[in-house]
A and B are shown apart, each in its own frame.
Chain A
Amino acid sequence: MKELRHLMTPLDFDTDELDRLFDKAGEIERHPRDFVHACDGRILATCFYEPSTRTRLSFETAMLRLGGKVIGFADASSSSASKGESVADTIRVISCFADICAMRHPKEGAAMVAAAKSEIPVINAGDGGHEHPTQTLTDLLTIRSLHGSLSGFTIGLCGDLMFGRTVHSLIHALVRYSGIRFVFISPPELKVPDYITEMLTARGIPYEEVIRLDDVIPDLDLLYMTRVQRERFFNEEDYVRLKDFYILDKEKLSRAKKDMHVLHPLPRVNEIAVDVDDDPRAAYFPQVQYGLFVRMALIMTLLDLTEDHMNHGLLKW
Chain B
Amino acid sequence: MLNVGKIEEGFVLDHIQAGKSLSIYYQLGLDKLDNTVAIIKNARSGKTGKKDILKVEVDIDTLNLDVLAFIDHNITVNVIKDGEIVEKRSLVLPKEIRDIIHCHNPRCITSVEQGLPHIFYLADEEKEIYRCRYCDQKYRKRDGEKL
Contacts and interface: CB of A to CB of B under 8 A. Distances in A.
Partners in one complex: yes
Interface of A: 86-88, 105-110, 112-113, 127-130
B87 interface: no
A108 B105 contact: yes
Interface stretch (B26-34, B60-68, B93-101, B128-136): B128-136
B134 to A, nearest CB: 3
Interface string B12-52: 00000000000000000000000000000000000000000
Interface residues of B, number: 17
Contacts of A107: 107-109, 111-113
A130 B116 CA distance: 18
Chain B binding surface SS class: loop
B112 A109 contact: no
Given A87-B109, A128-B107, A129-B107, A108 B135 contact: yes
Contact of B136 (A87, A110, A130): A130
Contacts of B105: 108
B114 A109 contact: no
Contacts of A112: 109, 133-134
A129 B108 CA distance: 10
A113 B116 contact: yes
Given A105-B109, A112-B134, 5 more contacts: A87-B113, A107-B113, A108-B109, A127-B109, A127-B135
Interface in B91-147: 105, 107-116, 132-137
Given A107-B108, A108-B108, A88 B135 contact: no
Given A108-B135, A109-B134, A109-B135, A88 B113 contact: yes
Contacts of B113: 86-88, 107, 110, 113
**Lowest 7 CB-CB distances: which A-B pairs, in order?**
A109-B134, A108-B135, A109-B109, A107-B109, A110-B109, A109-B135, A128-B107
